Amino acid sequence: LSLFLHLPGTSEEVAPPVQQCFMVPKKEINVVSDMAKWKRSQAYADYMGFILTLNEGVRGKKLTCEYKISEPIEKLVALLNTLDRWIDETPPVDQPSRFGNKAFRTWYAKLDQEAEKLVSAVIPKHLADAAPEVAVYLKESVGNSTRIDYGTGHEAAFAAFLCCLCKIGVLRVDDQMAIVFKVFNRYLEVMRKLQKTYRMEPAGSQGVWGLDDFQFLPFIWGSSQLIDHPSLEPRHFVDEKVVNENHKDFMFLECILFITEMKTGPFAEHSNQLWNISAVPSWSKVNQGLIRMYKAECLEKFPVIQHFKFGSLLPIQPVTS
């Protein structure tokens, strides 16, 4: 767990190693052959380690269970509430095309302008220098303002944003459940509202052959939540009644509910991959399969990773340990 600088119980005041020189993250993956650099990088190791640490942290736990909520977690939720409020203040505009409402650009311009200030409110004074670096991941996590689209690369930027906050010690080991259930879940709500309000295009979607048009991580962490559930099996998530009764407890079912709200027609047709997953016998098999699929379909795909940015916290340099 080297991702988390401080173990629970150490004083709030512990400053991170002095030699940390923050930098504004930049693009490093420019051609397909650069993908090898990414897979060997410290950034890839730390990012994947972070995803898997949280995967273990939420295993068998409901969204509604009890967990610690620290001050940084509260502040992150407040940040996301601000983004949500800005959507209300920026209604979609009348335009000829149905998709990609241009009001999203107005909303995004506000985030672009305010991101560093928003991040500075979350991190302690002695880490103020980290704000410009960390803020880049926040800005990258809400979709592309030129194409007015959103996809798993943007979602990965939000996970990277949270990973950076762990690396500088703002989030701790004992924040794990709150990172997923409180912060990431709130992020999902805001993204769904963006997707709906501005009719965003799915970025790099594989249509019916992809897992989902917009997200991936909540299916991973959501399947982990359901491991060893006494009665809910993978075959149950295609049952509308089961989804309606349990979605408030499980992220996976919340995702299914959103898909069925947004899409018409038989589930097997509009979400073929998920339909296939419902035939897998156990949630732990689903979870393992989704982790493999995430690496193959998102993290090892050039069109997704070419947009990823690298700095001092998520470096492109090869793994040292």
- CA dist list (Å): 73 to 119, 124, 173: 12, 13, 12
pLDDT digit string, tens, across residues 131-147: 999 999 999 999 999 99
Q: What domains lie within the chain, and their CATH numbers?
A: 29-201+302-308 (no CATH), 205-293 (1.20.120.1150)
Handedness of CA 145, 209, 196, 253 (dihedral sign): negative
Q: What is the mean pLDDT of residues 46-66?
A: 97
Q: What is the mean pLDDT of residues 98-119?
A: 97
What pLDDT sits at residue 7?
Answer: 43
Query: Residue 74 belongs to what H/E stretch?
Result: helix 71-89
| Beta-strand pair 201-202/309-310 | unpaired
Instruction: Give CA torsion, residues 120, 124, 125, 128, to 10 deg.
Output: -50
What pLDDT sits at residue 20?
Answer: 76
pTM confidence score: 0.94
Q: What percent of the chain has pLDDT over 70?
A: 93
Residue 9 has pLDDT above 90, yes or no: no
Handedness of CA 203, 207, 208, 209 (dihedral sign): negative
